[in-house]
Amino acid sequence: MDALRNMRGEAARARLAGQLAGLRGLPRQLQKRRLIQIRRITEDRDLAKKLT
């Protein structure tokens, strides 16, 4: 929100643009995450056993 208050600075505008780009990309990233989670084949319990 600081970037909104300080829109005059070039760095603030760049920061705000980056934050907005991140928010715009969030739905796609969440969709990708859901697809990855669906394809998981190792149970959490089995993975924990292998790591300890």
**Helices and strands per DSSP (H, E), number in the chain:** 3, 0
Angstrom distance (rounded) from CA 51 to CA 42: 13
pTM (2 decimals)? 0.53
| Predicted local distance difference test score (pLDDT) of residue 33 | 95
Residues present in the chain in total = 52
- Listed by start position, the domains of the chain span 2-51
| Predicted local distance difference test score (pLDDT) of residue 8 | 72
Identify the segments of the chain with pLDDT beneath 70: 1-7
